[in-house]
């Protein structure tokens, strides 16, 4: 792939195919595989029965019995993505166990070796990431039906009943609603190159409309995700081993590295779609390419948790023409207003994300824990997101940066 030869300026889905962006589902993996051939079906079998194996206290023993498989038989991107997803689920379940503080600090080599090899092939870290549990963890019930919550299911579950299904699928429908604006990006870049403010206005209105649809989809979280189950069960299995006192040194990947490694847990900051619109609209979390604060640094770091093709796409956008500079240079009040509506749609999404975090993390964290801790290890700070950040500080900073990107009237 050569981003310098073909940038997103070309008004064609061909270019997006290079960046693994699909016309229908955007950054999500289209029609993910559900099964792997023998011998990898042994991984699938464990991943499909995780909640039951954890409940019966058999999960770790089943994992330890597995043979170490070479990944040479995993041919093709979709097979490798499915392997990364199932090994991610197995790893999270093995490390966190019953979610009661009895953690494992060493991942056995029979999982660690193939997991790290498939991670290397995909350019992803060896931990469950957003690109796994949201973007590659879905199927349609009716293949010819719509991409709606009612017509979808997830491939693998953690304990917590349908909480995971709700969390992952609502995240996915938010993602795909916003992703329908990606096709407008080449039109925007062409409009700037041709000095065509009218076409740019229409394209920006399209993006605003898609972001409004994404926000409407986000509201479904209240219907499908229970705050207590999310906080006390699902959140544990999505937590990483970076900035987490339960694994303060990280996780040792036996047979791969001699020292423990630290990786952040899954986070919405690992979604390419909103970083994509930040770049497009010139919402600057960096100054001269350098992160301006800890929130910006975290966003930049989270790019390394995205599939490499998506990272390349974001880099190619950064080398494209600046929408913000063009809008400012025209001095056109209507164009500025339409640009601001687009930025305001991003502000609204971030405002809503803050409200969700209050309901699903801050309020449950303030209640006495119902979980019995079996370990004497320090417990995880409750205000932290699964990515290891102080989530309220992080989201408030990101929102402020977005608000500050609104063009002020003279």
Q: Which three-class secondary structure state does DSSP give residue 30?
A: coil
Please check if 77 is assigned to a binding site: no
276 near 21, Cβ under 8 Å? no
Work out the number of other CB atoms within 10 angstroms of the CB of residue 14: 9
Work out the number of other CB atoms within 10 angstroms of the CB of residue 21: 25
Above pLDDT 90, what percent of the chain? 82
- Is 34 a residue whose pLDDT tops 70? yes
pLDDT by residue (tens digit) across 171-227? 999 999 999 899 999 999 999 999 999 999 999 999 999 999 999 999 999 999 999
pLDDT by residue (tens digit) across 103-161? 999 999 999 999 999 999 999 999 999 999 999 999 999 999 999 999 999 999 999 99
Q: Which residues contact 142 (CB under 8 A, 6 or more apart)?
A: 151
Token pair, residue 120, equals 């290397």
Q: Which three-class secondary structure state does DSSP give residue 290?
A: strand
In order, the DSSP letters of 109-158 are HHHHHHHHHHHHHHT--SS--HHHHTTSSEEESSTTS-S-GGGEEES---
- Structural domains in the chain, CATH included, are 27-366+383-404 (1.20.58.480)
Per-range mean pLDDT, top range of 125-129, 265-269, 294-298, 404-408: 125-129
The Cα–Cα gap between 301 and 306 comes to: 10
The Cα–Cα gap between 115 and 108 comes to: 11
Average pLDDT estimate for 375-388: 49
């Amino acid at each position: 792939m050569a981003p310098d030869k073909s940038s997103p300026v070309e008004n064609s889905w061909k270019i997006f195919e290079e960046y693994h962006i699909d016309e229908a589902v955007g950054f999500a993996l289209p029609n993910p595989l559900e099964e792997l051939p023998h011998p990898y079906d042994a991984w699938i079998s464990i991943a499909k029965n995780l909640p039951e194996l954890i409940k019966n206290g058999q999960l770790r023993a089943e994992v330890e019995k597995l043979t170490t498989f070479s990944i040479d038989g995993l041919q093709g991107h979709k097979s490798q993505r499915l392997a990364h997803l199932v090994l991610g689920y197995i790893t999270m379940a093995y490390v966190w166990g019953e979610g009661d503080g009895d953690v494992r600090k060493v991942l056995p080599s029979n999982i660690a070796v193939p997991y790290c090899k498939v991670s290397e092939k995909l350019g992803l870290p060896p931990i469950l990431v957003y690109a796994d549990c949201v973007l590659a963890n879905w199927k349609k019930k009716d293949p010819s039906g719509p991409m709606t919550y009612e017509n979808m299911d997830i491939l693998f579950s953690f304990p917590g009943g349908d909480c995971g299904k709700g969390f992952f699928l609502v995240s996915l429908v938010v993602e795909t609603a916003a992703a329908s604006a990606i096709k407008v990006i080449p039109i925007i870049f062409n409009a700037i190159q041709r000095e065509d403010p009218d076409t740019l206005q229409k394209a920006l209105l399209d993006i605003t409309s898609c972001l409004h649809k994404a926000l409407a989809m986000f509201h479904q979280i209240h219907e499908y995700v229970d705050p207590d189950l999310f906080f006390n069960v699902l959140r544990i299995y999505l937590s990483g081993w970076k900035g987490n006192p339960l694994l303060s040194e990280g996780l040792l990947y036996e047979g791969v590295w001699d020292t423990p490694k630290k990786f952040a847990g899954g986070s919405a900051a690992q979604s390419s779609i909103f970083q994509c619109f930040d770049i497009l609209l010139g919402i600057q979390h960096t100054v001269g390419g350098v992160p301006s604060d800890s929130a910006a640094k975290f966003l930049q770091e989270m790019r390394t948790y995205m599939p490499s093709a998506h990272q390349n796409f974001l880099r190619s956008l950064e080398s494209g023409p600046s929408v913000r500079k063009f809008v400012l240079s025209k001095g056109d009040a209507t164009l500025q207003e339409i640009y601001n509506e687009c930025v305001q749609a991003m502000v609204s999404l971030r405002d809503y994300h803050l409200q969700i975090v209050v309901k699903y993390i801050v309020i449950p964290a303030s209640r006495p824990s119902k979980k019995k801790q079996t370990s004497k290890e320090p417990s995880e700070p409750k205000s932290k997101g699964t990515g290891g950040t102080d989530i309220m500080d992080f989201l408030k900073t990101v929102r402020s940066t977005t608000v500050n990107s609104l063009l002020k009237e003279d």
